[in-house]
Amino acid sequence: QESTHIYTKEEVSSHTSPETGIWVTLGSEVFDVTEFVDLHPGGPSKLMLAAGGPLEPFWALYAVHNQSHVRELLAQYKIGELNPEDKVAPTVETSDPYADDPVRHPALKVNSQRPFNAEPPPELLTENYITPNPIFFTRNHLPVPNLDPDTYRLHVVGAPGGQSLSLSLDDLHNFPRYEITVTLQCAGNRRSEMTQVKEVKGLEWRTGAISTARWAGARLCDVLAQAGHQLCETEAHVCFEGLDSDPTGTAYGASIPLARAMDPEAEVLLAYEMNGQPLPRDHGFPVRVVVPGVVGARHVKWLGRVSVQPEESYSHWQRRDYKGFSPSVDWETVDFDSAPSIQELPVQSAITEPRDGETVESGEVTIKGYAWSGGGRAVIRVDVSLDGGLTWQVAKLDGEEQRPRKAWAWRLWQLKAPVPAGQKELNIVCKAVDDGYNVQPDTVAPIWNLRGVLSNAWHRVHVYVSP
C-alpha cells in the first residue's frame, strides 16, 4: 500500500502561484490543480480565488460543481491529505469586542477586519444579477450585535395622540409582506480612485461596495401609520437607531425624510429577509431598514428604534459624515453643517471584466460591468470606449427590467467588441446615462472631496493585447 502524503494548512496556503504550484483542499483531501487552472470552464481568475485554501465556500455558491464528473476531474489532481490536527478550530480571544463577529466568506476582499468591511472581487460581483448573501459587500462601523430573535423588539415611538409600539418579529410578519429587488451602494464605493488624485480619509473601497438582493419585509409606512403618524410636517425625519453601539453606548443612527418614509411608492421596508433567508448577522439580523434608491448609510441594520423628529438625526453618521464638498475644502476649513446629508445617489457604472493590467486575447474582447442610479432613476444606456473615450459603442443591458421611477436595482451590462488590428493596449472606459439624462463626470479630480464619497467618474481600465 502506498503511503499518503500529509500536508499542513500552512503548506497548502503557501501554494498560490504557478511558480509554487496551485493547491486547494476539499474535505480532508489536498489537490495540486496547477495544470487545470487555465482549463477551468469558469475561468482561471475564479479558480484562483480559492488557491491555497478550501473549495467548499466557493462551490457552495456555484452548484455546477455538485456533479460527479466535476468530482472525478478533481480526483485526478489529488496529492495527499490534510493533517488531521489542522481541523481543530483556533481558540477565540474573549476580551476582544469583535470576538463574536460571524465567520465570513473567504472570497471577500477585506478592507478592514475590525470593524469588518469587505467587498466581493470584481470577477464574482457581476457573475450573478442577485448577489449571493455570503459575498454581499459588508460595511460595519462597530462589532456585530448577537440578537435573540425570540426576545427582539422594535420600538416605534408613537405620534402625539397615537400609540408607541413594541413589535416582536412575529408582529412584523403580521404586516402585509412586500418583496423588492434593491441595490445597495455605499457612499464610499470607488473611493480608491479618489485617493489616487489626492489623499482622502476613509476605507479604500474599489468597485465592490455595491450589491443587489431581494429584500422582504413590512413597509415602513404601514408600521408608522399604526403608530399614528401621518405626513404633516414636511421638514420632519424618521430616525433609525441600530442595536450596535460603541464603548460609550452610542448607537449607529441615521434618518430619512418623513415624506419618503410615508410614500407607499417609495417602498421603504423594514426587512427581515434577504434572498429568501433570514437576514445574515452581518446584514442586520433580525431587522434592517431598506431605503430603495438611497445611499447605504441610511439602511440601518440591527434596527432597535424608530422615531419621527422635527429635524434629521443628530447621529454622527448623519451630520458629520456622508456629505459631499468642493475639492477646495480640507479638514481645516470643512463646515459639516453647510452641506446636506447624502440621500439619493448619482448615476454610477463600473467595469468588472477585464481587470486593470490584464492581458486580453486579440480578436474579440468581452467587457462586463454594472450600472445603477439613485432615486429610482432607470439606467437607459451604457457607453463603452476602447480608446480612452474617443469613440463609443453601446453595451447590451442585462438583468431585470426597471420600473419607471422605481428602478431600485442595477443593470448588468456587457459588450463584445472586436479588438482593432495592431492594437497593443486598450484604454477601456464606461459611462452610464440615467432616465433624467444625468451622466457621469469624465474625470475624478473635479469631484474629489476630503471624505472620498460620491466617486462616480467614468471607470477606466487599461489592458494589454496578447500579440
Q: Say whether residue 215 binds ligand MTE (CB under 6 A).
A: no
Active-site annotation holds for 5: no
Active-site annotation holds for 77: no
Measured CA to CA, the distance from residue 120 to residue 115 in angstroms comes to: 17
Measured CA to CA, the distance from residue 110 to residue 204 in angstroms comes to: 10
Q: How far is the CB of 261 from ligand MTE (least distance, A)?
A: 16
CB-based contact 241:305 (threshold 8 Å): yes
Active-site annotation holds for 221: no
Sheet with 117-119, strands from edge to edge, namely 109-112, 117-119, 138-139
Residues 6+ apart with CB under 8 A from 195: 204, 452
Catalytic residue among 65, 173, 177, 381: 65
* CA nearest neighbour of 230 among 132, 148, 161, 332: 161
Q: Is 389 left (phi over 0), alpha (psi -120 to 50) or beta?
A: left
Q: How far is the CB of 396 from ligand HEM (least distance, A)?
A: 17
Q: How far is the CB of 257 from ligand MTE (least distance, A)?
A: 17
Question: In angstroms, what is the C-alpha Rg of the chain?
Answer: 24
- Look at residue 12 and give the partner it binds from ligand MTE, ligand HEM, none, a contact being a CB closer than 5 to 8 Å depending on partner kind: none
CB-based contact 295:187 (threshold 8 Å): yes
| 122-161 binders of ligand HEM (CB under 6 A) | 127
Output 283 or 459, the one with its CB closest to ligand MTE: 283
Q: How far is the CB of 26 from ligand HEM (least distance, A)?
A: 8
Q: Say whether residue 79 binds ligand HEM (CB under 6 A).
A: no
The binding track of 175-214 with respect to ligand MTE, each residue x by CB under 6 A or -, is ---------x-x----------------------------
What nine digits make up the cell of 459?
471607470
Q: How far is the CB of 315 from ligand MTE (least distance, A)?
A: 10
Output 65 or 104, the one with its CB closest to ligand HEM: 65
- Look at residue 73 and give the partner it binds from ligand HEM, ligand MTE, none, a contact being a CB closer than 5 to 8 Å depending on partner kind: ligand HEM
CB-based contact 426:397 (threshold 8 Å): no
What nine digits make up the cell of 442?
469624465
Output 281 or 431, the one with its CB closest to ligand MTE: 281
What nine digits make up the cell of 46?
475564479
The binding track of 294-313 with respect to ligand MTE, each residue x by CB under 6 A or -, is --xx-xxxx-----------
Measured CA to CA, the distance from residue 180 to residue 184 in angstroms comes to: 12
Residues 6+ apart with CB under 8 A from 81: 4, 5, 6, 7, 28, 29, 30
> Could you list the active site residues?
40, 65, 139, 186, 322
Residues that bind ligand HEM (CB under 6 A): 24, 33, 36, 40-42, 46-47, 49-50, 55, 58, 62, 64-65, 67, 70, 73-74, 127
